[in-house]
Amino acid sequence: MKRTLGYTTNPIRRHSSERDPEALARHRDDPKRLVVLVAGDIPILRAGEPVTALLSPADTDRVANGLEEVFLGHLGDRPVVARLAPSDAADLFREDPAFIVMDLRSAAMNRIAPHDELGILATAKSLLDWHARHRFCSTCGSPTTLSQAGFRRDCASCGAQHFPRTDPVVIMLVSRGERCLLGRQTHFLPGMYSCLAGFLEPGETIEAAVRRETFEEAGVRVGAVRYSASQPWPFPSSLMIGCMGEAESEDVTVDREELEDARWFSREDVRLMLRREHPEGFFVPPSVAIANYLLHEWLDGSE
Ligand SMILES: [Zn+2]
């Protein structure tokens, strides 16, 4: 099961010692280099068998005004860089059948982007998004410049160093005996239910966040919490921390600000929802999402 979880596989060998000040300039002239091109927040994929996010330098020639580049690491002996282009650069590829222009969420959900490259795309998208939104120092307000081959931004004015952020989110399958608790947000597709989730707050443990979010959103008390698996979620830079939680109470009180509904589902319900055969039309997220993985783990313990 774990192999189908999206954004978790990344064949690039990364090493912080390779992020010296000359790294980007050195790889810029390397004819073997591979480029992950992101226009705004849209990755440009090369069509074909197989589809790939790893473009050749010639593929990207038509983009004259790239904004920023970061060095992701090596694939074999080939350096891989991620390049940020303005969002309208996507139009340069849209009509060309050699390329696929599609937001990453859709490309992953519809299995258009290669599974093995989803981790590369997650790294590229999160890192480039961070650069695009952190051009000024949060300490003194002066412009910052890229350093560490893209894994840091420095402020020349006050000396502050800024590092790319990863925002931890707890996502939990809370169960009690033969039933588990699922909820739906208003923006979900009609009929879709998923695990409850929420951002970890500063100074909070993972276990405490699982208990707090479950009580806030559904009014259910959680006792034992166990970590299961994690998943990068590059929208823009979350890390989903998947947990199993044991409920200590059953009454559900839905916080309507957070959720449209939350309710208990039986194992049989969940089996039917996974197969999209539930008589009431309920279903759960696809296998690319960690909620699906947690539900499988709860049903049969298999991975
Ligand atoms: Zn500063």
**Confidence (pTM):** 0.93
| Confidence grade of residue 66 (pLDDT, cut at 50, 70, 90) | confident
Q: Tell me the pLDDT tens digit for each residue of 251-274.
A: 999 999 989 999 999 999 999 999
Cα 135 to middle of ligand 1, angstroms: 11
Say what the pLDDT of residue 1 is.
Answer: 55
Distance CA 161, CA 139 (A): 10
Distance CA 183, CA 245 (A): 15
Cα 83 to middle of ligand 1, angstroms: 25
Q: For the chain, give the mean pLDDT.
A: 95
The pair of three-digit structure tokens given for residue 291, joined into one six-digit string: 């909620």
Cα 262 to middle of ligand 1, angstroms: 45
Cα 147 to middle of ligand 1, angstroms: 14
The pair of three-digit structure tokens given for residue 161, joined into one six-digit string: 């160093």
| Confidence grade of residue 108 (pLDDT, cut at 50, 70, 90) | very high
Can you tell me the mean pLDDT for 283-300?
Answer: 95
Cα 298 to middle of ligand 1, angstroms: 48
Evaluate whether 251 touches 181 at the Cβ level (below 8 Å). Answer: no
Say what the pLDDT of residue 3 is.
Answer: 65
| Confidence grade of residue 2 (pLDDT, cut at 50, 70, 90) | low
* Matching residue, tokens 């039309």: 281
Cα 163 to middle of ligand 1, angstroms: 13
